[in-house]
Structures are given as structure tokens and as C-alpha cells.
Amino acid sequence: MSENQNLLAEQRRALILDEVRRRGGVRVNELTRKLGVSDMTVRRDLDALARQGVLEKVHGGAVPVVEASTHEPGFEAKSGLELTAKEDIARAAARLVTPGTAIALSGGTTTYALAQHLLEVPDLTVVTNSVRVADVFHAAQRTSGQRQGAATVVLTGGVRTPSDSLVGPVADQAIAALHFDLLFLGVHGISVEAGLSTPNLAEAETNRRLVHSARRVVVVADHTKWGTVGLSSFATLEQVDTLVTDAGLPAEARAEISEHLRVVVAGEPGEDDTDI
């Protein structure tokens, strides 16, 4: 069987994962017919997805990994997943930022990637409850000195979560007293029914405060977050202005989300439009 060269490995794996989640399981021979690739290619893709922990291989195919709604992976565990997608999303999201504005970045590996793209945007005030995000800006200042136009960073206090976010009453009180133009929000899961959700109850409350304090809300989330539901919902899709995601998000999901908010797909035509 000739290989389908029109699909990159990441695109194939996104389609496979969507099939697994939508149908509750798939067989190798079904995937070879659907994707037009060999058994060996499909098995390599399944191996890669299983190493990421997003599906489980079974005899002749694969099934979804069923995680408890309270399961919260640590920052290091998540940082190695969907690297290309996160980089594309970060680059597209950075184009939405206007110099001289006050922005907020929540915790998460995608907002961490975004922070690195914001280092050259002048005169920002950055509010964050992410230790990792704050470290990006502080490390840049240590390396290059206090250059003109460098960001002013406000790091909330609070209790540290496995994803290196600061949450709890101290963080909530600090955020409630602030107002920012634009919030970039990383999420554990996103769905029409549950909205935005997280497995951490304290983080859910801190995220609610972030959403309440922002004039506009931008969710930065790769396609694997679609359909995932954590223990606690903290915002509806109607409270979000824009979702910046990657090309792995299926067309059906894009259409469904677009009924509630604007969807920007990183790397596709129209992403450069900064009117959010």
C-alpha cells in the first residue's frame, strides 16, 4: 500500500486520537483504510500516542485512556506533549497583543510557550499566577539587563499546584484587585457542555477571578483539550472571546465551538487578523 504523503505524522495522529475518543476505540485495519497508510505506520502512530498517555493500545487497535476527573498532571509531564501545536498557538496568540497593554497569563505549558514570544513586545504589564511564566520574563531581564520597554511582571502569591500555578485565597485576593485588557488562559479541558474545566478546585476559583478581571478572554489550547472535562468548571464558552488552537482540531469541533466564540487556527489563513 502506498503511503499517504498528504498527511503529516502529527495530523495523522490527531485524526487517530479524534476517532478513538469519538468512537470509544478503533482497530488498526480500520485506520489503514481511512488514512491510506500501512499497518506499520498506524502502529507507529499508536505507539507514539500511547507514550504521550492519550490512548491505550489493545490487541488489534486502541481505546481511550480513562482518567479520573481529579487527575492533574505536573508541568514536566505536560511540557513534552504537542510541542509543535503549542509553539504554533503561542506564535499566533502573541500577534493579538498590543504594546503598552496590561495582560494576564494563567498557568500552563501553552501560556509558558506564549510568554517566550512576548519578550519583545514593549511596555507590557504582565499579571500571572504561573511561576514558570514569571521565570521567563525574569530570566530575560537577568540575561539582557533592565532594557527599555521590558515587561513589568506582577506575580500573585498563593499555594503552588502540580502545574506550578499559584492558587488559593492569596492569589484570588490579589487578582480581584486588578484589571487587565487581555487574559490568556490555558485549560485542562474544553467542551460545549462543561465549558472550561480543571481537576483542581482551588485553581478553578483562581481562574474564575482571572476571567472576571479581564476585559477580553483568549483561551490557548491545543486540539487534545477538546472533549476533556475536569472536576470543576470555571467558565462557559460564552465568557470567552477567542480560542487559539491548532490544525489538529477536527472540523466538526471547530464548527461547534464557532457557534459560541471566535476560533483562530494557528497556521491557517486568517490567523493574522488581530481584531479580537
Q: Is 106 or 162 the better-scoring residue by pLDDT? A: 106
146-165 pLDDT tens trace: 677 889 999 999 998 877 89
174-185 average pLDDT score: 96
Closest C-alpha among 240, 150, 147 to residue 195: 240
Q: Which residues pair with 216 in a beta bridge?
A: 182
215-262 pLDDT tens trace: 999 999 999 889 888 889 999 999 999 999 999 898 889 999 999 999
54-67 average pLDDT score: 79
Helices and strands counted in the chain (H then E):
10, 15
Cell of 197: 474545566
The domains spanning 9-66 and 76-265 adopt the same CATH topology: no
Cell of 239: 465568557
Asked if residue 39 lies in contact with residue 32, where contact means CB atoms within 8 angstroms, the answer is yes
Task: Classify domain 76-265 at the CATH topology level.
Answer: Rossmann fold (3.40.50)
Note the pLDDT of residue 68: 46
Note the pLDDT of residue 235: 97
Note the pLDDT of residue 69: 46
Q: Is the pLDDT of residue 78 over 90?
A: no
The average confidence (pLDDT) of the chain is 86
* Alpha-carbon gap, residue 250 to 232, rounded angstroms: 25
Cell of 83: 510541542
Q: Where are the domains of the chain?
A: 9-66, 76-265
3-state secondary structure of 183: strand
Q: Is 153 or 8 the better-scoring residue by pLDDT? A: 153
Closest C-alpha among 194, 184, 178 to residue 217: 184
3-state secondary structure of 25: coil
Phi, psi for residue 18 in degrees, rounded to 5: -65, -40
195-215 pLDDT tens trace: 999 988 999 999 999 999 999
Asked if residue 109 lies in contact with residue 89, where contact means CB atoms within 8 angstroms, the answer is no
Asked if residue 213 lies in contact with residue 175, where contact means CB atoms within 8 angstroms, the answer is yes
- Amino acid letter, 212: H
Task: Classify domain 9-66 at the CATH topology level.
Answer: Arc Repressor Mutant, subunit A (1.10.10)
Give the up-direction half-sphere exposure of residue 23: CA atoms within 13 A in the CB hemisphere: 14
